[in-house]
């Protein structure tokens, strides 16, 4: 059975030990290689496919990820719904490390990434509607799941997608805050818009790994990020295990 549900695993979620793995597949696309092999498995009654965004061994930095290949392959194998997990920095009060965030808006500050399928061999120019960048229905399911599990979650927030791989300056974060951003990460775009171009239902489940630059005390360390994510991603697994079995797959 081809899975209708995909999970894109972000930092600290390169494997999903709660998935009952059935098989793996390494595929190529007209856009090149996806980040990782596709890992097929079951979550309850649901067939699910897992893709590690940064590669199986976490070697791909955000600006080197082949977002087009990742989304294209998921669409090609019949996926309809994509849950993207992500680590982010917290910008606004209330966004402390460990918080869950389900963004409903995004601002794209990335550059130089292949960000569309609609550029070559077109019969006409295509502009997708992106007013609501995330699927409201899938977001609702994630939010309800988080509520059921008693998790601290921000149910509406704006994600700033920055280029990386360096973290931001304090002034850049102040600017993002003025722009209305609540959280900051490096992989939200063009992932979300490519998913929309393919008609995929896409929602993100972000875990705050650190206070964004200038918002916490001192420098941001990878140790701090990894420590916060280790517990955060355990929670993500619980959330996925609750939400996915109840998703419709048609
Ligand atoms: N900035 C950008 N991306 C991130 C951060 C951050 O502070 N933390 C985790 N991913």
pLDDT in tens, 24-36: 999 999 999 999 9
HEC per residue, 175-242: HHHHHCCCEEECCCCCHHHHHHHCCCEEEEEEEEEEECCCCCCCCCCHHHHHHHHHHHHHHHHHHHHH
Task: Give the CA distances from residue 83 to residues 48, 102, 132, 161, in Å, rounded to whole numbers and listed in that order.
Answer: 11, 11, 16, 17
Closest CA to 236 of 80, 38, 88, 81: 88
What is the rounded average pLDDT of the residues 92-120?
96
Please enumerate in sequence order all residues whose Cβ is within 8 A of that of 19, keeping only pairs 6 or more positions apart, or say none: 39, 41, 42, 43, 48, 50
pLDDT digits (tens, 9 = 90+) for 130-186: 999 999 999 999 999 999 999 989 999 999 999 999 999 999 999 999 999 999 999
Range of 224's domain?
5-117+129-246
Asked if residue 45 has pLDDT above 90, the reply is: no
pLDDT of residue 13: 72
Ligand 1 centre from 162 Cα, in Å?
9
Overall average pLDDT of the 50-63 stretch:
94
Is residue 124 in some structural domain?
A: no
| CB-ligand 1 contact for 206 (6 Å cutoff) | no
Give the distance (Å) from ligand 1 centre to CA of residue 45.
Answer: 34
Asked if the model's pLDDT at residue 17 lies above 80, the reply is no
* Ligand 1 atom with minimal separation from the 213 CA: 7
In a domain, 164, yes or no: yes
Region 201-209: what's the mean pLDDT? 96
Residue nearest atom 5 in ligand 1 by C-alpha distance: 89
At 86-101, the pLDDT tens digits run 999 999 999 999 999 9
Q: Whose CA is closest to atom 3 on ligand 1? A: 185
**With a 6 A CB cut-off, is 228 part of the ligand 1 pocket?**
no
Q: Is 210 touching ligand 1 by the criterion CB < 6 Å?
A: yes
User: Is 27 a domain residue?
Assistant: yes
* In-domain check, residue 80: yes
Atom 10 of ligand 1 has which residue's CA nearest to it?
Answer: 88
Q: Are 226 and 108 in contact (CB under 8 A)?
A: no
- Taking the centre of ligand 1 as the mean of its atom positions, its distance from the CA of residue 42, in whole angstroms, is 31
What pLDDT score was predicted for residue 152? Answer: 86
pTM of the model: 0.96
**pLDDT surpasses 80 at 14:** no
Distance (Å) from CA 74 to ligand 1 centroid = 26
CATH number of the domain to which 91 belongs:
3.40.50.1580
**How far is the centre of ligand 1, averaged over its atoms, from the C-alpha of 167 (Å)?**
6
157: Cβ below 6 Å to ligand 1?
no
* Residue among 127, 97, 128 nearest 202 (CA): 128
89 CB near ligand 1 (under 6 Å) = yes
Mean pLDDT within 202-221: 95
Residue 197 falls inside a structural domain: yes
Q: How far is the centre of ligand 1, averaged over its atoms, from the C-alpha of 130 (Å)?
A: 24
Q: Is 153 in the pocket of ligand 1 (CB under 6 A)?
A: no
219 is a domain residue: yes
123, part of any domain: no
Average pLDDT, the chain: 94
Query: Looking at the domain assignment, is residue 122 inside a domain?
Result: no
DSSP the chain: ---SEEEEE-TT-S--TTSEEEEEE---BTTB--SS-EEEEEETTEEEEEEETTTTTT---GGG--HHHHHHHHHHTT--EEEEEEEEEE-STT--TT-EE--SEEEE---SS---STTSS-SS------SS-S-HHHHHHHHHHHHHTT--EESS-EEEE---SSPPPHHHHHHHHHHT-SEEESSSTTHHHHHHHTT-EEEEEEEEEEEPTTTSSS---HHHHHHHHHHHHHHHHHHHHHHGGGS---
As for how many domains the chain has, the answer is 1
Query: Which is more confidently placed, 76 or 218?
Result: 76
């Amino acid at each position: 059975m081809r899975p209708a549900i995909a999970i894109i695993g972000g930092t600290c979620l390169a494997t999903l030990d709660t998935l009952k793995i059935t098989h793996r597949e390494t595929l190529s696309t007209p856009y090149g290689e996806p980040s990782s092999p596709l890992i097929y498995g079951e979550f309850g009654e649901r067939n699910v496919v897992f893709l590690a965004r940064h590669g199986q061994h976490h070697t791909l930095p955000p600006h080197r990820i082949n977002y087009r290949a990742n989304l294209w392959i998921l669409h090609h194998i019949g996926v309809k719904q994509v849950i993207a997990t992500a680590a982010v920095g917290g910008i606004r009060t209330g966004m402390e490390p460990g918080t869950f965030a389900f963004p409903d808006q995004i601002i794209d500050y990335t550059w130089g990434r292949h960000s569309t399928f609609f550029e070559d061999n077109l019969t006409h120019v295509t502009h997708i509607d992106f007013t609501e960048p995330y699927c409201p229905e899938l977001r609702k399911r994630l939010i309800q799941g988080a509520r059921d599990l008693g998790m601290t979650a921000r149910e509406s927030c704006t994600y700033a997608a920055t280029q990386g791989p360096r973290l931001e300056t304090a002034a850049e974060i102040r600017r993002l805050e003025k722009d209305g951003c609540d959280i900051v990460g490096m992989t939200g775009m063009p992932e979300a818009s490519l998913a929309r171009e393919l008609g995929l239902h896409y929602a993100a489940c972000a875990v705050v790994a650190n206070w964004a630059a200038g918002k916490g005390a001192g420098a941001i360390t990878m140790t701090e990020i990894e420590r916060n994510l280790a517990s955060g991603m355990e929670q993500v697994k619980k959330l996925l295990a609750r939400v996915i079995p109840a998703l419709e797959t048609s």
